[in-house]
Structures are given as C-alpha cells and as structure tokens.
Chains A and B, each alone.
Chain A
Amino acid sequence: SERIVISPTSRQEGHAELVMEVDDEGIVTKGRYFSITPVRGLEKIVTGKAPETAPVIVQRICGVCPIPHTLASVEAIDDSLDIEVPKAGRLLRELTLAAHHVNSHAIHHFLIAPDFVPENLMADAINSVSEIRKNAQYVVDMVAGEGIHPSDVRIGGMADNITELARKRLYARLKQLKPKVDEHVELMIGLIEDKGLPKGLGVHNQPTLASHQIYGDRTKFDLDRFTEVMPESWYDDPEIAKRACSTIPLYDGRNVEVGPRARMVEFQGFKERGVVAQHVARALEMKTALARAIEILDELDTSAPVRADFDERGTGKLGVGAIEGPRGLDVHMAQVENGKIQFYSALVPTTWNIPTMGPATEGFHHEYGPHVIRAYDPCLSCATHVMVVDDEDRSVIRDEMVRL
C-alpha cells in the first residue's frame, strides 16, 4: 500500500497533517489526522495568576473562535467561585455566542468556497459571507466590547449592559439580516448538495456529543464519563505519536464527533451522517442562532444588572464551563484558591474531533480526504491546549483532579 501525506492541511486554522494509507485503487484504508501546531501552553500560563487574567489570555487560544473560549473560561471561574450571574448578564453572554455562531459559520463558508462555489459566483459568495459577518460581528463588538478578542465578557457576568437605544438598533439590524441569512443558507446548501460528493463520504459510527442546542450546559457534561490518553497510546505509528501536538479525549471510552451536526442529532432528531450532513447542519444552525439572537434582543431588560458581586479568593472548588462553540463542545475547568488560579484545563472542540476525523476518510479515494477534514471546520490553535492526564486509567484521572 501507498502512503499519502498532506502537510499542512489547508483552508483551516492552524497546522495539521493528514496521513492516509491507500490501496492500489487509491482508496483510503487507514486515515490519521493530527495537529502539528506548537503548544503555547496557555493552561500553564494562567496557572498562578489572578482569575481576571484567565479569560483575557485563553480567549487568545484562537482568533477564529475566541468567544466560546472566553465564555467557557468565565463560566468555569463563576462555577469555581459559586457565582450566580444575573439574568441580563446571562442573556448578553448568550447573545454574544449566538451572533458568533452566525459569524463563524459564515467564515467556514468562505474557507470551503473553492470546494463548492463555481468561479463565476465566487465574488458574490464572498460578498454574501462578508455582509452576514459585518452584521453579526457588529453585535459582538457592541455587546462584548471587541469583535475578535472580546474584552467585556467578565467573571460574574458582563462589564456593562447595553443601552436601550443600542438594543433597539441591534434588534432592527438583525431583523433586517434575516432574509439575507435565509438566502445565503439556501445558496450554500444547494451548492453543497449539487457538488455530487460520493454518498456515504465521511460517515463514521462514532457517537455524537453535545450539551445544548446553542449555548452549552455544564450539567450535561459528565466528568466521570470523560478520559484522555496521550498520542503514544492512540496512534499505532510511533513517528506520528511523537509529533502529534494534542492529546486524545474520549467519552465513555470512545472518540466522538462534536459540532453542529452533533448538536442537531442530540437536540433536534437529525439523522443524517457524513460530510454533506455536517455542512447542511452548520448552515441550518446559522438560522437557529440568528433567531435566538433576535429573541434575546427582544426580551433583554437594559436597566437590569449584568454582573454579580463576588469574592475572588475562592475555595479550591473545581469549576466547569461548558460552551457549545461553532465547532463543538468547549469545556474549560478552573480551580481558584487564595485569589489565584491553581489549576486550569481546556478541552476544546477540535481536540474532540481529531481522532474521529482521520478514520472518517477511510473507504473513499484519498482525493476526498481534505473534504472530510474540512467538513469538521478544524481549528488547530485550539486543539493544542489540552489537559494532561498521562494515563488511560479513569480512576487515576479522577484522583488527580481531586488532588489538584
């Protein structure tokens, strides 16, 4: 058999390598996908620092999906400090994420455009993406302080509520955006379905994992069902294992798929699988997220408090923040004691998907490999910031968590 290596894989965030073993007809018999992005060590950077520092630093895990990281970080610290965020603060956080979903999914359409959009429609497609992003990012800017690395999502809630005038304007702006998003979603789904990708491409038998339809719910993520192994015990090729820059997370001992399709399977009875289903789910989610953003802007009380008072000294409780990022479940864990972060860990969307993506290329010609990878909208800067549990034995992991 022959070995096909794509390094780095393109039109995605960060550096990764796709290694496929193929038979005489070029059909992939074994696929392995792994991150080769250097590890900046953000979990170690924030350890020992003030709680306030953590969201500022960890949102810089990734400039494509900074919102979920910021939210998961503040939620984890809120949980560690037993903070009850006021309702208006919770709504503004959810509004930020809903607008970000619309923006981020549009960015993915920009990245996959060369796969699906004919040359004569390319400028129109880019303009359609830009028009949607401009409005969605305007909301993030206004509500969260900065569009790319939001400054105003804070421990305990948000830095400020928005004004009544801003609420009305944002509401009107998103209402006006709705027909544009509907049209865009229809265009993208049409182009993707017409592409004629082979039936069954990217279908795998791994379970899906999601905590909530849009925002995320820490009570739906069971730490006891989670384990993590080092690349050495996952990849059978020692050379790959040595170079792989992310660890392998498992739920109930199995690798999973997270992201838009997983959310629709878990919460909307969606049954489709594979590359086309992933793209369709992602596109449809733009409509769900926009509808939720409009609903929040309708019900938000702009005179209500958005941030709780809290004592930042902490008791060492292990706090969990679970957020549904555009690419899937993003779990951050934090322990605050003596006013400092004592332990920090981020279990991010692409890390969940990495062990599932390689095998999902199997059974089809290797030329389809990159299609399978891009259907997950991988984001590798994220995937290099994972927790350390150098053991396959679940009980040891739990002990270590408690001890930390």
Chain B
Amino acid sequence: AEENAKPRIGYIHLSGCTGDAMSLTENYDILAELLTNMVDIVYGQTLVDLWEMPEMDLALVEGSVCLQDEHSLHELKELREKAKLVCAFGSCAATGCFTRYSRGGQQAQPSHESFVPIADLIDVDLAIPGCPPSPEIIAKAVVALLNNDMEYLQPMLDLAGYTEACGCDLQTKVVNQGLCTGCGTCAMACQTRALDMTNGRPELNSDRCIKCGICYVQCPRSWWPEEQIKKELGL
C-alpha cells in the first residue's frame, strides 16, 4: 500500500528545450530522494524507458505545441485523458514564450510555423511559468501537490489562464492601471535582463524580451486573491 501511495508523475516534452526539466534536476540536495522515494516517474522519454502513456496523477508538460505536427497534437490530447492534473511546465507550455515569434520557413520542416501554449488546445489545471522556472518553485509545487496544499498552489492555478504574456504587460496592466509601486521585483525577476528601472518604473528592452511572462507573474500587484483579502481585512 505504501508503494501505491506515491504520486504518479509524467513528463511530456513538446516543442521545448528541456531547460525546465533541467531546472527540476537542479534540486541537487533532494533529487535522489525525490526520484527514488517521493514520486513515481511513470512516463517521459527524457528520463525513463516507458513508451505506453499510463494514467497519471500529474502531467508536467514542457514546450508549446506545434499545430502542424500531428504527433504532438495526439500526445497532448492523450495526456489530457490520462492525467488527473495537467501542469503547463515552464513558459513555452504556459505562455508560448519565445516560440510566439516563430513563423516557419525553416528546413527540414518549413511548414512548422504555429506554436501555441497548451491551454489553447486542452484544459490546463495549473501553470509554472519561467524560462526556466527556478528549481525551488518546481520543488515547492511538487511538494505542495504531494500534500494536497491547494492554497499554496492557488496562484499557479490562476495562472493557467495567463497565456498571452509580454514584458509590456507591466506597462499596460500595472503602470497604466496606477498599480506600480516601483519596487523593482519585475527587473529582478527578468531572466534575460530585458528590464531596467527608469524613474522608478520598469523600462522594457523589447530586443531582449522573450514573452515568458515572469516579470508580470512576479509583480506583487498582478495577483489579487480578492476573497482572501476581504476575509483578512474583515470587509
């Protein structure tokens, strides 16, 4: 019975770079424990030799999905049927990230031109954006799932709907709304150094922006758990 209690996790690689899986493995101090005792990796050709997609408690999906690649579409549809929870793992799966700039025309498959976040095609339960997400947030999300701590996961559940990301979200959704406090979290969070603070407000270098969305996700003014705020303030 103890054996069966371990959550069954699958890793599915679509059009991504495997950087998110690499980040997961950068949980150096707990990786051996995680892989041997805490979870069962039941699917994922990067990690294990299992070809038949089984039923899974959680599917971590890395990469956006190419509409011109039939194999990817079938795999995505199948994993939605087999997984209780589907997680858009990393920004390519969550927001499309830089594959939003794809426009095809490259050999040996020039027809591959449309890459979209997986939520455009299937229902997604939670998203962990980042290019890649940090090892820490991946570990914390997995542990929260192990403990069924849905309160901790709430921001990630809400992010499943954030699929059109860009550095300019800071301007349109934060500064333009009078919400920016000039804290600089966005610039600290940016993984390509596309953001600076100018006059206390974010300044975007769009030549370096990859549309991963992490600046807006990390902005303390971008997530409003309204019910919780009302409850805590007695409103």
Contacts and interface: CB of A to CB of B under 8 A. Distances in A.
Contact of B19 (A50, A149, A152): A149
B207 A40 contact: no
Given A56-B208, A63-B17, A107 B104 contact: no
B72 interface: yes
B104 A63 contact: no
B108 A246 contact: yes
A234 to B, nearest CB: 10
Contacts of B110: 39, 41
A126 interface: yes
B103 A45 contact: yes
B48 interface: yes
Contact of A43 (B15, B106, B108): B106
Interface string A95-118: 000000000000100110010000
Given A60-B98, A159-B193, A247 B208 contact: no
A261 interface: no
Main secondary structure of the interface of B (DSSP, over half): loop
A130 B210 CA distance: 29
Interface stretch (B24-32, B121-129, B144-152, B175-183): B24-32
Nearest to A52: B207
B191 A151 contact: yes
Given A45-B103, A130-B28, A149-B131, A381 B69 contact: no
A127 interface: yes
A63 B22 contact: yes
Nearest to A147: B26
Interface string A143-182: 0011111011000000100000000000000000000000
Interface residues of B, number: 56
Contacts of B101: 45, 57
B113 interface: yes
Contact of A381 (B18, B71, B115): B18
Contact of A44 (B72, B106, B115, B208): B106
A244 to B, nearest CB: 6
B18 to A, nearest CB: 5
A60 B19 contact: yes
B143 interface: no
Interface in B1-28: 13-23, 25-26, 28
A53 to B, nearest CB: 5
Interface string B81-96: 0000000000000000
Contacts, number: 171
B154 interface: no
A207 interface: no
B225 interface: no
A40 B15 contact: yes
A231 interface: yes
B45 A390 contact: no
Contacts of A36: 71
B28 A134 contact: yes
A137 interface: yes
Contacts of A245: 108-109
A208 interface: no
Contacts of A388: 106-107
Contacts of B19: 60, 62-64, 66, 148-149
Given A10-B48, A149-B191, A49 B207 contact: yes
Interface string B44-88: 011111110000000000000010110110000000000000000
Interface of B: 13-23, 25-26, 28-29, 31-32, 35-36, 45-51, 66, 68-69, 71-72, 97-99, 101-110, 112-113, 115, 131-132, 191-193, 205, 207-208, 210
The 10 closest A-B pairs by CB, nearest first: A63-B19, A41-B106, A130-B28, A38-B66, A63-B17, A126-B32, A388-B107, A134-B28, A39-B109, A50-B207
Given A10-B48, A12-B45, A44-B104, 11 more contacts: A11-B47, A11-B48, A42-B106, A44-B106, A53-B208, A114-B49, A126-B36, A148-B26, A231-B108, A386-B107, A390-B107
30 contacts: A10-B48, A11-B49, A15-B71, A38-B72, A38-B115, A41-B105, A43-B106, A44-B106, A49-B207, A52-B207, A52-B208, A57-B210, A60-B17, A60-B19, A63-B20, A63-B21, A66-B17, A107-B25, A110-B25, A126-B35, A130-B25, A133-B25, A133-B28, A134-B26, A146-B191, A149-B192, A151-B192, A247-B107, A381-B17, A384-B108
Interface of A: 8-15, 36-45, 49-50, 52-53, 56-57, 60-64, 66, 107, 110-111, 114, 122-123, 126-127, 130-131, 133-134, 137, 145-149, 151-152, 159, 230-231, 244-247, 381, 384-388, 390
